Amino acid sequence: MAPDPIPWHDEPMQRTIAVLNQKGGVGKTTTTLGLASAAADAGRRVLVVDLDPQAASSWVLGIEPGTGSVADPLLEGSKRAGPHLQRSTWSDLIDVLPGSPALQELEGGTSKRLRKLIGSVSDGYEAVLIDCPPSLGNLTRSALIAARHALVVVEPSSLGLRGIGGVADVIDDVWESSNPDLELGGVILNRVPAVSREAERRIDELARIVSRQAIWQPSIPQRVIFNEAVGARRPIHSYGSRATEPIEVFDRLWRRVRGLVNR
Ligand SMILES: Nc1ncnc2c1ncn2[C@@H]1O[C@H](COP(=O)(O)OP(=O)(O)OP(=O)(O)O)[C@@H](O)[C@H]1O
Ligand SMILES: [Mg+2]
């Protein structure tokens, strides 16, 4: 008789996705926000966990600085995230565990605390999206310990690909040492020019590192409206016909995320 499958000791992590890259400014926050916007537009509940001390995604989601942060329960050693959740001004369907500069104090060590914290509230959401800081330090590692799926955001340029091997190594390392359930969910390409031999070469190079199937379609085009939406603290879906293509891209990326978390 076949042995029983290993039971999910904490099944909620199936829904948890870490959005990462050590490189700054590649679009981790844009991706997290675009997915949250698409989820709410589709009537799905999501939680955004902002692990970046710069707290950009919290601010864009309408959270005012100084109103509490995910750093608070982590520093207190509390296992209950509930009291620290805030509702985004975007939608009743989006909750936020906000970031704050206090997260810097946690670069020294959070280990499994974030995982327990997210596990205490993740039941109520279809997906939990963790927006990581631009580093491979302890905060990003704690996101990878908490997550089932790693989603790497990459720009297909020579500078954009530098360090991608290091990202893959950290995912491997966390998988081996602390989280055997962790998988590379996919690689999302951001700021892809419509026609570019250089970008195509870089995508080929990337496919040799992570496999071609790991690279998600569609990629995210370069569009000024993403900048505008951040400045106005608005979801991309609120722009309607002014953002037809970005909206369509994030609707399709969200469907892929649903495919991962509902597998
Ligand atoms: N596809 C795009 N088209 C136009 N602007 C973009 C695009 N993607 C990101 N940006 C802009 O580039 C800047 C950096 O993007 P974003 O904040 O998403 O990157 P990040 O990886 O989260 O950065 P950090 O490492 O600092 O957290 C932002 O101003 C964002 O609006
Ligand atoms: Mg960011």
Instruction: Using the predicted structure, report yes or no on whether residue 5 has a pLDDT greater than 80.
Output: no
pTM (two decimals): 0.95
**Ligand 1 atom nearest to 24, measured from its CA:** 25
Look up residue 46 and give its amino acid: V
Q: How far is the CA of 263 from the centre of ligand 1 (A)?
A: 29
Confidence of residue 190 (pLDDT cuts 50, 70, 90): very high
DSSP sequence for the chain: -PPPPPP-TTGGGGGEEEEE-SSTTSSHHHHHHHHHHHHHHTT--EEEEE--TT-HHHHHTTPPTTS--THHHHHHT----GGG-EE-SS-TTEEEE---GGGGGGGG--TTHHHHHHHTTGGG-SEEEEE--SSSSHHHHHHHHH-SEEEEEE-SSHHHHTTHHHHHHHHHHHHHHT-TT-EEEEEEEBS--SS-HHHHHHHHHHHHHH-GGGB-SSPBPP-HHHHHHHHHT--GGGGGGGGHHHHHHHHHHHHHHHHHHT-
pLDDT, one tens digit per residue, over 98-120 is 999 999 998 766 678 999 999 99
Atom 13, ligand 1: residue with shortest CA distance? 25
Of 48, 236, 28, 30, whose CA–CA distance to 129 is shortest?
48
What average pLDDT does the chain have?
92
**Once rounded to an integer, what is the mean pLDDT over residues 158-171?**
90
Which phi and psi (to 5°) does residue 153 adopt?
Answer: -100, 130
Cα–Cα distance for residue pair 148/78, rounded to 1 Å: 22
Q: How far is the CA of 71 from the centre of ligand 1 (A)?
A: 23
> What is the per-residue pLDDT for 7?
40
Q: How far is the CA of 128 from the centre of ligand 1 (A)?
A: 20
**Ligand 1 atom nearest to 134, measured from its CA:** 25
- For ligand 1, whether the C-beta of 190 sits within 6 Å is yes
> What is the per-residue pLDDT for 111?
74
Q: How far apart are the first and last CA of the chain?
A: 25
Please give the residue that has the higher pLDDT: either 11 or 191.
191
**Ligand 1 atom nearest to 246, measured from its CA:** 1
pLDDT, one tens digit per residue, over 20-51 is 999 999 999 999 999 999 999 999 999 999 99
Q: How far is the CA of 26 from the centre of ligand 2 (A)?
A: 8
Cα–Cα distance for residue pair 83/255, rounded to 1 Å: 30
Q: What angle do CA 215, 216, 218 make, to 5 degrees?
A: 130
> What is the per-residue pLDDT for 195?
81
Q: How far is the CA of 35 from the centre of ligand 1 (A)?
A: 14
- For ligand 1, whether the C-beta of 25 sits within 6 Å is yes
- For ligand 1, whether the C-beta of 223 sits within 6 Å is yes
- Which residue segments constitute the domains of the chain, with CATH numbers given? 11-261 (3.40.50.300)
Of 60, 58, 88, whose CA–CA distance to 226 is shortest?
60
**Ligand 1 atom nearest to 190, measured from its CA:** 1
| Signed CA dihedral, 263, 216, 185, 57: sign only | negative
94 close to 48: Cβ distance less than 8 angstroms:
yes
